[in-house]
Amino acid sequence: MNILAIDTSCDETSVSVLTNTSIKSNEISSQVKIHKAWGGVVPTLAKRAHQQNFDTVLKKALTKANVSLKDIDFIAVTKGPGLAIALEVGIAKVIQLSKDLHKPLLAVNHLEGHILSFLGNKAWEDKDLEPLFPAVGVVLSGGHTLILYIPNIGEYHLIGQTLDDAMGEAYDKVGRMLSLGYPAGPIVEEMATKGILNKYTLPVPLHASKTADLSFSGLKTAASRLIDSCIKAQDILSQQDIADISLAFENAAITHLTEKMRIALRLKEVRSIIIGGGVCANKNVRKKLRALAKEHNLQFFFPKKRNLCVDNAAMIAIAAYFKEKRGEVLASGTVIEREPNFPLSLL
Ligand code: KG4
Ligand code: ZN
């Protein structure tokens, strides 16, 4: 079975081919260069770039997978959440393709894709998956921070979520305050490796709260105050200050996540921790959550390649594979409405 999947939810145009349970291609055309100048994603520019790049990315994905369009059995697309006018590009392309090829469609939730992206590490057999569940799943991206209880693939119950900024967004905003460019997450991580431990400390958010909800806006404000006080004292921010502040921010943010995961694990008895989303590319995030899993005798799963952490179509193909198994298939040419706030959790 070949699934062709498309994601145009934000600033990456991505097309993937999944053959049975093996990813044959996962092409990503990043728009970072276009949006960099604006310090964030500009929806109209994202839409235009998706339109311009789509055919090339599709062609590359098919060539790499060594398949042609007639070999495709199902066509999957991200329905949401994401930027409305960016989602629309992928959805329109997919509906047209499905009409032309008379192939059925699968409409996927982008967040389910992030959660299942670890399955892109290697081909699986369905029987391998049973021992993983129930699991606690974490989505850590630029737009979402969710902690979920997952009894089984396809069932997602919200345990906690950010009350304000997403974790990736907080990395990006603090990075921007430190003039580290866009997206700043990976650069903050890199700078933090050069920081002096405990030169500065920032408060761990919601430390006393007993829920698994998260918050990053107070930490962001505390980082901003620290930056201002450093500038006041020395007129400029030295490279060492930037490194020290990056480390202080990263430590507080990851400690916060780990504390909330501890609460989640107290609430639910599970067999594994699964993480997904752009922030999972961060080595310290992985390290701390892996240690937490070990401490609780749980298995730990994460997308190993960077292109499975960030937005990509392979994760959409994987989520689509399970949708097909659940019978959630749409007839060729069915109109799919984009859902910019498409929820994942059943609550
Ligand atoms: O999952 P993703 O590609 O897009 C969304 O669905 O939002 O996540 C992008 C986010 C950005 O905020 C980016 O700064 C962050 O992931 N990110 C990181 C790292 N790599 C990407 N944050 C911290 N450390 C990293 N190494
Ligand atoms: Zn994403």
Predicted confidence (pLDDT) per residue in 95-123, tens digit: 999 999 999 999 999 999 999 999 999 99
Q: What is the mean pLDDT of the chain?
A: 96
Nearest ligand 1 atom to alpha carbon 281? 26
Q: Where does the chain show beta strands of DSSP type E?
A: 2-7, 12-19, 22-30, 74-80, 105-109, 135-140, 145-152, 155-161, 272-276, 299-301
Residue 116: closest CA among 318, 342, 345: 318
Pocket test of ligand 1: the residue of 141, 283, 287 to mutate, having most ligand atoms within 8 Å of its CB, is 141
347: pLDDT strictly greater than 60? no
Report, in angstroms and rounded to the nearest whole number, the Rg of the chain calculated over CA atoms.
20
Residues touching ligand 1 (Cβ under 6 Å) are 10, 141-143, 168-169, 171-172, 183-186, 189, 277-279, 281-282, 310-311
Query: pLDDT by residue (tens digit) across 222-258?
Result: 999 999 999 998 888 999 999 999 999 999 999 999 9
Residue 51, sorted as left (phi over 0), alpha (psi -120 to 50) or beta, turns out to be alpha
Residue 295: closest CA among 250, 253, 252, 258: 258
324: pLDDT strictly greater than 60? yes
| Structural tokens at position 292 | 């937490």
Helix and strand element counts for the chain (H, E): 12, 10
204: pLDDT strictly greater than 70? yes
Which DSSP state fits 84?
Answer: H
Query: pLDDT by residue (tens digit) across 255-302?
Result: 999 999 999 999 999 999 999 999 999 999 999 999 999 999 999 999
pLDDT of residue 345: 74
Q: Give CA separation, 321 vs 194, 270, 336, in Å.
A: 42, 24, 18
Query: pLDDT by residue (tens digit) across 67-81?
Result: 999 999 999 999 999
pLDDT of residue 346: 61
